[in-house]
A and B are shown apart, each in its own frame.
Chain A
């Protein structure tokens, strides 16, 4: 099993120009499948979808393109959403660097449509993990495992959920981690080979800067991965090949990164997230417990069995075992070392809360990194198993090849008929019916709410009555109208100093309840909700004429007559 004696170089990675056709074809298949699959939620229903985060990100990009100005401060209707979230920058401060939202705005401009181009970009930015992992695995191990790993990720439930919830900027930043780590891998290998290629160094730092601008979580993950791989290489080769020349260039790259990142550092440093440190006991948990993220993520998001169908588990177990075996048996094992650093890095990143105060809700998103490395190991088992057995037992080359492609076929069928089927069903059904803003609500938001003063503050009492499913719809009405809408839980009205008392409105939206009432099954529930909402309406506006009353939606201007008990 002594395959090579020196670390792998770009030139000797086994990559042949003629094979590029196969790679292009494989990637094209993955992209076409992903494009079809991930756009299912808006192929037949063009209304916007997603949780509150989804509307929030959309609203900022939409503001940039509609005002034709990428301002640093948020407009009133978005700025009061998480008012004063940033302790350093104060009210109306952005909560992310501008890149993701500028991308949305550019897509609106280039695509000449308000919603579809942004949603295509969102889908693309979310299944980008397929492209990132395909690229890295292809360059290191070949097209077949790259295709298999990409296919697994195309159907990844966890990534699909992150996409549907609207946390695409975080997801895009995190999926850059394998690529940034790969660039660093190439640089480090060239350094150890004494054929240093600084292009990889600067590419790695440019990728880190890109991640920082998209979301700090991706950047943090890459820093950990790069650190782990650097340590493993130093241990493996028992030296650190750091000359003065290299150190100067490294310092230069760090300085450029610092200059690019510094103006936006306060966005992250001042963030008012609720953070805590977990005890060392959490190091013995593999992932994140559903109890730790209850209310923010469904159990299936952090569940191992929901993400990996049982038919792929033998492949995963074989992948992990073969990785360890190859680390011990293969003399030139830098590529295996890279995969190990991916595995160790992922473990550290998912357990960051043990070392630094972190919000577990945010950390849960890092589990996407587990998908990258696990689907890589699942795919690698198909190549490594016949290859390793052949090395140990001297099998015939043709037999090895036949075994490899047979295993690949089994894996493809397993993935397509388990994750693939459930994934396409859930994406097709995502935000169906009244779970999504309806044409009536969108029309009300676009044609009437949008004509209210810029600093209008619209209260919606329905969320408290009908439940949380109404909340994202309310936020989408905010995004569509470009006017602030917040839930009203009862109690004092206009308590906050950022609300102008002469600009307060109340929205009573019965349109969803009316749709529910048309179904026999929900008639009783709909009548109950309608009665409760009417009670609030009468308490607040008895005898007052609404300023809007169309399609079961009424809007009142609040004249300061008191609230209802909380």
Chain B
């Protein structure tokens, strides 16, 4: 429980860092600036973060790797989904949903497979 609390506190620190940058963007460019910085965090960090969260990397590695992986691979997924889904805007949401579904289901599937093996 203590470890979980620490993890949440550490995540909050990084969230505060993102919000600080978003605030500066707000001062410079108004709400568009704020939205843009939040969009960078949500579009490029969150998808890969969901996939990396159960790996053997530490919090900071997950966060920074997520950003750098997300910059090149999340748009690729959106592009691929858009070849099937007629709308680009819908494809962004669909790609996000697909990643969330995989991220939340694969640990359960792996767990089941392990139990079966035993």
Contacts and interface: CB of A to CB of B under 8 A. Distances in A.
Interface stretch (B72-80, B98-106, B108-116): B72-80
B20 A120 contact: no
- Say what secondary structure dominates the interface of chain B: helix
B72 A106 contact: no
A32 B36 contact: no
B79 to A, nearest CB: 4
Contacts of B40: 107, 120-121, 124
B57 interface: yes
Interface centre among B40, B44, B72 (most CB of A within 10 A): B72
A105 B25 contact: no
B75 A99 contact: yes
A390 B44 CA distance: 44
A31 interface: yes
A28 B56 contact: no
A261 to B, nearest CB: 10
Interface string A20-35: 1101100110011001
Contact of B75 (A31, A39, A69, A102): A102
B65 A36 contact: no
Contact of B71 (A43, A180, A210): A210
Contact of B32 (A31, A117, A179): A117
B89 interface: yes
A256 to B, nearest CB: 11
Nearest to B65: A203
Contact of B57 (A35, A67, A203): A203
B24 A199 contact: no
Given A10-B58, A24-B14, A213 B76 contact: yes
Nearest to B92: A106
Contacts, number: 173
Interface centre among A23, A109, A179, A206 (most CB of B within 10 A): A206
A173 B20 CA distance: 25
Contacts of A70: 78-79, 82-83, 88, 91
B82 A110 contact: no
* Interface size class, chain A: 35 or more
A189 interface: no
A297 interface: no
A209 interface: yes
A116 B76 contact: no
B36 A24 contact: no
Interface string A437-475: 000000000000000000000000000000000000000
A214 interface: yes
Interface in B27-41: 28-29, 32-33, 35-37, 39-40
Contacts of A31: 17, 20-21
A116 B33 contact: yes
B17 A28 contact: yes
B51 to A, nearest CB: 9
Contact of B72 (A121, A132, A211): A211
B32 A209 contact: no
- Say what secondary structure dominates the interface of chain A: helix
B45 to A, nearest CB: 11
Given A24-B16, A131-B64, A203-B52, A64 B72 contact: no
A183 B32 contact: no
Given A32-B24, A70-B79, A109-B89, A179 B65 contact: yes
B69 interface: yes
B24 to A, nearest CB: 5
Given A24-B16, A28-B17, A214-B72, A36 B88 contact: no
Interface in A363-405: none
B73 A209 contact: yes
B78 A110 contact: no
A553 interface: no
Contacts of B56: 197-199
Given A31-B21, A98-B75, A99-B76, A110 B91 contact: no
Contacts of B87: 68-69
A132 B32 contact: no
A200 interface: yes
A202 B35 CA distance: 31
Contacts of B82: 69-70
A547 interface: no
A213 B76 CA distance: 8
Given A69-B82, A70-B82, A213 B29 contact: no
Interface in A55-106: 64-65, 67-70, 97-100, 102-103, 105-106
Contacts of A504: none
Contact of A210 (B29, B68, B83): B68
A245 to B, nearest CB: 16
A155 B11 CA distance: 29
A359 interface: no
Contacts of B58: 10
Contacts of A10: 58, 61
A110 B39 contact: yes
Contacts of A20: 10, 13, 60
30 contacts: A21-B13, A23-B60, A24-B16, A32-B21, A35-B24, A36-B28, A43-B28, A67-B88, A68-B87, A69-B87, A70-B82, A98-B79, A100-B75, A102-B76, A106-B43, A106-B75, A107-B36, A116-B32, A176-B71, A179-B65, A183-B65, A203-B52, A203-B57, A206-B65, A209-B69, A210-B68, A210-B69, A211-B72, A213-B72, A260-B73
Given A43-B29, A107-B40, A120-B37, 18 more contacts: A20-B60, A23-B60, A35-B25, A70-B79, A103-B44, A103-B71, A106-B75, A116-B32, A131-B67, A135-B60, A139-B60, A176-B71, A179-B64, A197-B56, A199-B55, A207-B68, A211-B72, A213-B76
Interface of A: 10, 17, 20-21, 23-24, 27-28, 31-32, 35-36, 39, 43, 64-65, 67-70, 97-100, 102-103, 105-107, 109-113, 116-117, 120-121, 124-125, 131-132, 135, 139, 172-173, 176, 179-180, 183, 186, 197-200, 202-203, 206-207, 209-214, 260
Nearest 8 pairs between A and B by C-beta? A210-B72, A110-B39, A102-B75, A213-B72, A199-B55, A117-B36, A120-B36, A199-B56
